[in-house]
Structure 1
Amino acid sequence: MAYHEVSIRPMSPTDFLLMTKWLQDEEVLQYYGNPDDPYSYERILEKYSPRLNGEEDVPPFIVERDTDPIGFMQSYPVKKEDAKAWGLPENKTYIGIDQFIGEPRLWGKGIGTQMVKRFVVDVMIHKNPDGIVLDPEVHNMRAIRCYEKCGFKKVCKIEDGSKWLLAYWRSTQ
């Protein structure tokens, strides 16, 4: 099996068409977004332009395999009230992350594990949180397995039991 380098770079405005393609893909929308509400180019601009401009503290990134864009990642500070609602220790800081591979033909090949591990290291180094959290749909077993391989642990079900809250801790809790 050939080795492919996975890298993560900041999103740029030239990625908006690609994001539109990915967020209109029915397979991708089964796990990220809503299949009944695909994203238009205008909606992508509205959502991601403020993030690129630094108006929102949710920096977006594009994942590349070799030099081909294949996915998306973002991080954001978790609000204290959300952490409390989820039963997380209140005296800690948390960064939430979201991600997807936008090319379904690449699912199930270990690429998600590579990109999440790389992003976790980057977030820990640059943001220095006590923990990183993510919240896959409970039926997204492929993603949950990926996150557990990366060191995330199930904390509890959230959003009326439709999602798992998983956490990666800087140190043992």
Structure 2
Amino acid sequence: MITLKPLVPENLPSFYQWIKDEEAIVYSLSIFQAMKTDQQIKEWYLSSINDKRNSNRGIFVDGVFVGYAGISGISSTNKSGEYFIFIGDKNYWGKGIGSEVTKMIVKIAFTELDLNRLMLTVSVPNVAGVKAYQRAGFVLEGRLRQAALRKGEFHDKLVMSILKSEWSL
């Protein structure tokens, strides 16, 4: 069973392990590529859980903390935000968790946060991510050419979004 809970300082030890795993972070936040020390990870984590423009939720599967997801850059003026997800525990990859969590966060965006638009960017090589977002109702808006540098190579990122008027339970 998948549950979403607020992130708390006690979740931090998992991030130390996940962010130091190059395979786990390859398509994730660019800042993850730069963080190398426990102190850098701790500072980022604590600032992100205290940032009121973000809605962060820990992802738990049968009580096991496996990642986090949420909405960053929430604009009450524009009623919009940017979706993100990071499943750091590789034992839980490929099990449909990303698809389910995406649907859960979209529901939170449109019901609890009263947003009108939720967008995201996804790296083109992240095929599983693209499919999960499409299953949740996100549509392609555009392409950011050579927007990410990973493993010494540039790749494009897709811009996708979903509007409240397009969403259904």
The normalised TM-score by structure 1 is 0.80
Counterpart of 1:168?
162
1:112 CA displacement: 0.7
* SS of the residue 1:171 aligns to: helix
Does residue 42 of structure 2 align to residue 48 of structure 1? no
1:55-74 paired onto structure 2 within 5 Å: 56-74=52-70
Match of 1:149 among 129, 132, 135: 135
Structure with more strand by fraction: 2
Give the 5 Å matches for 1:73-152: 73-77=69-73, 92-152=78-138
RMSD, aligned α-carbons: 2.3
Residue 30 of structure 1: how far off its partner (Å): 1.3
**For residues 36 and 55 of structure 2, what CA distance do their matches in structure 1 show?**
19
Runs of at least 5 residues in structure 2 that lack an aligned partner in the other structure: 148-155
Match of 1:17 in 2: 13
Aligned residues: 157
Q: Once superposed, which parts of structure 1, at least 4 consecutive aligned residues long, lie more than 6 Å away?
A: none
Check 1:122–1:78 CA distance in 2 against 1; reply closer, same or farther (3 A cut): closer
Amino acid in structure 2 at the alignment position of 1:164: L
Query: Partners of 1:39 and 1:159 in 2: how far apart?
Result: 27
Q: Which of the residues 28, 34, 39 maps onto 1:37? A: 34
Q: Secondary structure at the match of 2:66?
A: strand
CA contact 2:70–2:105 (8 Å) conserved in 1? no
Contact 1:20–1:39 under 8 Å retained in 2: no
Deviation at 1:23, TM superposition (A): 1.1
Are the aligned partners of 1:74 and 1:98 in contact in 2 as well (CA < 8 Å)? Answer: yes
Asked if structure 1 preserves the Cα contact closer than 8 Å seen for 2:71 and 2:81, the reply is yes
The one-letter code sitting in structure 2 at the alignment partner of 1:166 is M
